[in-house]
Structure 1
Amino acid sequence: MLKAIIFDVDGVLVDSMRFQAEAWVKTLEEVGVTVSREDIYELEGSNNLGLIKLVFEKAGKEPEPWHYEQLPVKKREVLEFDRIKPFEGMPSCLNQLKRHFRLAMVSGSNFDIVSTFANSFFPDCFEVIVTGGDLERGKPCPDPYLKALEKLDLATNECIVVENAPLGITAAKRAGLYCVAVASMLSPEKVKHADIVFENHAVLLDYLKSLIPGESHT
């Protein structure tokens, strides 16, 4: 029986990925690492440490200890928070879902960013929040989703995950969870390892509403 829905944040709940990616592109350029938005989209879901490690490796460079400490701070400074909004229909959908299911957030972003989104756009919706700083190993390791399960005190067959990124889908599947994905930033082909792939948020919202007891499928 479905008891909880676990959501990734960037690209699923909030339309933030283009701004997150642009902030990383600008920040990494300052230390001589050139990446594209698409590069960041494909690494989305990883925590800051994992993302920095991977982009430096791809550039054939070795990050120094100060990179791990200072680059996430610099990236937050250039992130255009005021331009980030929730996906249309998502706040009202979550308000419907929370009457029937327990809701959780699992994000690779830091606590300040995630809590700002939760409080600004989805107040009183999420019982459990797991962020990038909570665990040493982020997505694609299963640890963030295993932590959410632990906090919810539920079994894998009592939850589903909503993702949009390859690393996040891999993490959910490694944790033994059923995972649906919305192709919000990447092509459906890039997220095909999810159990179901939705081509846009309109179809995802229809699916989520169909999970509510008594609601008809559309």
Structure 2
Amino acid sequence: MLKAIIFDMDGVLVDSMRFQADAWAKAFQDAGINIVREDIYELEGSNDKRLIKSIFKEARKEPEPEHFERLPEKKRDLLEFDRIKPFEGIPECLDELKRHFRLAMVSGSNRNTVGKIVDKFFSGYFDVVINGSDLERGKPDPDPYLKALEMLGLTKNECMVIENAPLGITAAKRAGLYCVAVASMLEPEKVQHADLVLEDHASLFDYLKSLIPGKPQT
């Protein structure tokens, strides 16, 4: 029986990925690396350390120890936080789900960003919140989702994951969890390794409502 729904944050709950990507792109310019939004979309869900390693590797460069501190700080300074908003319909959807399921958030974003978004938009919604600073190994390793299961005190058969990014889907599947992907930022073929792929948030809301016990099917 489904008892909990675990949500990724960026690109699922909040329309933030373009702002996150633009801030990273500007930060990496300081390191002499030019990237585009899609480079970050492909790595969405990974924590700062893994993202930096991946970008440097793709650029055939080796990061210095200082990059792992300086680049995330620069990115946080550049992030247009006030432009980040929940996707339309998300608060109302969570209100309804909260009455029937336990809710968790598992994000690759750092503790500061996740904390600010939860405080501003989602206070009181989530029983468990895990951010990219909590664990050494982030997505695509299963650790963040396994930690969520542990903190919820539930089994993998009692939970499901809502994701939008390839690395997050891989993490959920490696944790043995059923994963639904909403293709909010990437083409559907990039997220085909999810158990179910939905084309947009309207389809996601319809699907989530169908999970509520006794809810009429539309």
TM-score range relative to shorter protein: over 0.9
- The answer to whether the 8 Å contact 1:94/1:122 transfers is no
- In structure 2, what is the Cα distance between the partners aligned to 1:199 and 1:55? 28
Which amino acid in the other structure matches residue 115 of structure 1?
G
- In structure 1, what is the Cα distance between the partners aligned to 2:112 and 2:173? 27
- In structure 2, what is the Cα distance between the partners aligned to 1:214 and 1:4? 17
| Residue 211 (structure 1) aligned with residue 203 (structure 2) | no
| Residue 183 (structure 1) aligned with residue 183 (structure 2) | yes
Equivalent position of 1:94 in the other structure: 94
- In structure 2, what is the Cα distance between the partners aligned to 1:189 and 1:44? 16
Q: By how many angstroms is 1:194 displaced?
A: 0.3
Which amino acid in the other structure matches residue 24 of structure 1?
W
- Deviating more after overlay: 111-120 vs 159-168: 111-120
Summarize deviations over 1:11-68 as a string: whole Å, max 9, x none: 0000000000000000001110111100100000000000000000000000010000
| Residue 200 (structure 1) aligned with residue 203 (structure 2) | no
Summarize deviations over 1:112-143 as a string: whole Å, max 9, x none: 21121112112210010011011001100000
Q: By how many angstroms is 1:110 displaced?
A: 1.0
Match of 1:194, SS state, is coil
Equivalences for residues 6-155 of structure 1 within 5 A: 6-155=6-155
TM (norm. structure 2) is: 0.99
Identity of aligned residues (%): 71
Match of 2:86, SS state, is coil
Runs of 4+, deviation exceeding 3 Å = none
Summarize deviations over 1:47-94 as a string: whole Å, max 9, x none: 000000000000000001000011101100000000000000000100
Summarize deviations over 1:136-186 as a string: whole Å, max 9, x none: 011000000000001001000000000000000000000000000000000
Match of 2:14, SS state, is coil
Q: By how many angstroms is 1:6 displaced?
A: 0.3
Equivalent position of 1:165 in the other structure: 165
- In structure 2, what is the Cα distance between the partners aligned to 1:144 and 1:213? 28
Match of 2:179, SS state, is strand
Which amino acid in the other structure matches residue 175 of structure 1?
A
User: Structure 1, unaligned stretches of length 5 or more?
Assistant: none
- The answer to whether the 8 Å contact 1:21/1:37 transfers is yes
- The answer to whether the 8 Å contact 1:4/1:104 transfers is yes
- Deviating more after overlay: 117-126 vs 176-185: 117-126
Match of 1:134, SS state, is coil
What is the aligned length? 218
The Cα RMSD (Å) is: 0.6
Q: By how many angstroms is 1:217 displaced?
A: 2.4
User: Structure 2, unaligned stretches of length 5 or more?
Assistant: none
Q: By how many angstroms is 1:111 displaced?
A: 1.4
- In structure 1, what is the Cα distance between the partners aligned to 2:173 and 2:138? 14
Which amino acid in the other structure matches residue 39 of structure 1?
D
